[in-house]
Amino acid sequence: MPLKAPMNTRLLVYIVLQALCLMYFLLSAGTFNSLGMVIPSMVQEFGMSWAQAGFGFTLLGTACGIISLAPAWTIRKLGVGRTLLTGTVILFAGFGLLYASTGVMTYYLGTTLLGVGYCFCGTVPAVHVLSSTFRRRSTVLGLYFTIGNLGAVAGPMMYYGLQSGGMGWRSYWLLFAVAAVVIGGFSTIAASRLRLPGPEQHTQAVDGPAAWTVRAALGTVQFWVIVFAYTACLAINTTTHSFAYQHLLEHGIGEGRASQMISLSALVCAIGSALAGVAGEKTSPRALTMFSLGCLGFSAALLAVADGPLVLILWMIAFGGGLGFSYVSTVMLLQEYFGQKASLELYSIMMAVSTSAALGPALGGAIKDQTGSFSGVFFGLAALSAVLFCVVAVLRKPAAKARFQGTLVAES
């Protein structure tokens, strides 16, 4: 599966793959997918409103997106290893601040640092490394997101287990602070030994002589449709993980059952990523993107209702499956349309623009405070997903002549 290389280099590639998967497992378990579980306890202790609680989640998503161009720059200039080291230090500081948090402001600062650390250690460096070192990119990205998304299964259940054992939310954040140092150190050491091809090598080896440039890609409608499709998926993801737990409690679901449903949806997400990775080798990424948008929109409508066990089971399957496919499908669609040469910068730009998805939790918290329910924001997300589903359905690959417009990507 790795690109042609000596045996010792191939072994190193697999070690780096393992390290990146472990890091994504940590990030999935300790940030977006479990913060919503911890928020109710922090709200109670600090006396926060739900708008304040949701804004912390918004800061997490905003920091993760708006800083996305920074790791692209550090990867080109300093290498992947130093980029991961930077992220590890920031993650440790973020988890440590949440552990020692005394009020709203330290909660805000902690979630912001987690978002920045996520950006430096998460999908931006991983997608670049794995796409540059493996031929079957869809399969290996599916594997990466599958293993990483198992963290989304483990995180909520770990917190519920700690609560059941009489340990508070501070112990949870302390556990992740220690884990960030261990896994981040392993990832940094492994990635520092790997040598990746530069943009000019991608041109010759992957894309051919007429590779897309960043400026040319930014001038196409197709790029922005992909970006907005990813943003819609991310908005449903972040908003659901912010408030699904509390929303289910308010609809008569017990704490243990709500935790199990959220964790099972993450398990479905992991399975969905694996299936998307395999399907991506033979199926159009556009079709996979449509599938993810349709499932996520359907899941948002179901969660808004949250009426009865059958609806909850359908929500769990639709949300987990749609989210799992979205991770792989949007990356593969971006690379199919614009190639590998400028994919690091284009993916980083997509992540930065998708910061707007962080408005979902803030809006959801405000709607909750005003109406007493989260249902309105979930119905709105379902409608947004339906619109983008229709747009992607008529999307076609951009004309080849547009490749020659714009300037070349800066080479390092």
Q: pLDDT tier at 24 (50, 70, 90 boundaries)? A: very high
Residues 6 or more apart whose Cβ sits within 8 Å of residue 191 = 16, 19, 20, 79, 80, 81, 84, 125, 129
pLDDT digits (tens, 9 = 90+) for 9-20: 778 888 999 999
**CA distances from residue 74 to 66, 125, 147, 186, 303 in whole angstroms, order as listed:** 15, 10, 26, 19, 40
Q: pLDDT tier at 340 (50, 70, 90 boundaries)? A: confident
For 41-55, what is the mean pLDDT? 83
Q: Does the pLDDT of residue 282 top 90, yes or no?
A: no
Q: pLDDT tier at 4 (50, 70, 90 boundaries)? A: very low
Q: Tell me what percent of the residues of the chain surpass a pLDDT of 90.
A: 33
Task: Give the other-Cβ count within 10 Å of 375's Cβ.
Answer: 19
Choice between 276 and 8, residue whose per-residue pLDDT is larger: 276
CA angle, 49 as apex, 48 and 55 as ends, to 5°?
90
237 within 8 A of 378, measured Cβ to Cβ:
no
- The answer to whether the Cα torsion of 235, 238, 243, 248 is positive or negative is positive
Task: Flag the least confident range among 207-211, 233-237, 266-270, 323-327.
Answer: 207-211
Q: Tell me what percent of the residues of the chain surpass a pLDDT of 70.
A: 91
Q: Looking at residue 402, what is its pLDDT?
A: 52
Q: Single out the residue of 125, 92, 160, 119 nearest to residue 21, CA to CA.
A: 125
Choice between 387 and 259, residue whose per-residue pLDDT is larger: 387
d(CA 69, CA 50): 31
Choice between 93 and 136, residue whose per-residue pLDDT is larger: 93
Q: Looking at residue 400, what is its pLDDT?
A: 63
pTM across the whole model: 0.78
pLDDT digits (tens, 9 = 90+) for 291-335: 999 999 999 999 888 777 888 899 999 999 999 899 889 989 998
Q: Looking at residue 5, what is its pLDDT?
A: 46
Q: pLDDT tier at 408 (50, 70, 90 boundaries)? A: very low
| Residue 2 DSSP class | B
Return the C-alpha torsion angle 302, 304, 307, 310, nearest 10: 20
126 within 8 A of 20, measured Cβ to Cβ:
yes
Task: Flag the least confident range among 40-44, 283-287, 372-376.
Answer: 372-376
d(CA 323, CA 37): 19
Q: pLDDT tier at 224 (50, 70, 90 boundaries)? A: very high
**CA distances from residue 234 to 24, 31, 61, 340, 388 in whole angstroms, order as listed:** 16, 14, 9, 23, 13
Instruction: Give all domains of the chain, ordered by start, each with its CATH number.
Output: 7-404 (1.20.1250.20)
| Residue 396 DSSP class | -
Task: Give the other-Cβ count within 10 Å of 153's Cβ.
Answer: 23
Q: Looking at residue 222, what is its pLDDT?
A: 93
244 within 8 A of 304, measured Cβ to Cβ:
no
175 within 8 A of 155, measured Cβ to Cβ:
no
241 within 8 A of 32, measured Cβ to Cβ:
yes
Residues 6 or more apart whose Cβ sits within 8 Å of residue 316 = 261, 264, 265, 268
2: which strand partners? 134
Residues 6 or more apart whose Cβ sits within 8 Å of residue 349 = 68, 69, 214, 218, 227
pLDDT digits (tens, 9 = 90+) for 358-391: 777 777 777 877 777 777 888 889 999 999 999 9
Q: pLDDT tier at 355 (50, 70, 90 boundaries)? A: confident
d(CA 110, CA 94): 4
Q: Looking at residue 6, what is its pLDDT?
A: 44
SS3 content of the chain, % helix, strand, coil (to 5): 85, 0, 15
pLDDT digits (tens, 9 = 90+) for 181-194: 999 999 999 988 88
Q: Does the pLDDT of residue 223 top 90, yes or no?
A: yes
Q: Looking at residue 296, what is its pLDDT?
A: 95
Q: Does the pLDDT of residue 43 top 60, yes or no?
A: yes
d(CA 289, CA 324): 11
pLDDT digits (tens, 9 = 90+) for 156-166: 778 878 888 87
Q: pLDDT tier at 401 (50, 70, 90 boundaries)? A: low
Place of tokens 């302390």: 174
Q: Looking at residue 403, what is its pLDDT?
A: 55
Q: pLDDT tier at 39 (50, 70, 90 boundaries)? A: confident
Rg, the chain, Cα only? 20
Q: pLDDT tier at 2 (50, 70, 90 boundaries)? A: low
278 within 8 A of 142, measured Cβ to Cβ:
yes
- Helices (H) and strands (E) in the chain — how many of each? 18, 0
pLDDT digits (tens, 9 = 90+) for 96-146: 999 998 888 999 999 999 999 999 999 889 988 888 888 888 889 889 988
Q: pLDDT tier at 409 (50, 70, 90 boundaries)? A: very low
12 within 8 A of 3, measured Cβ to Cβ:
no
d(CA 349, CA 308): 41
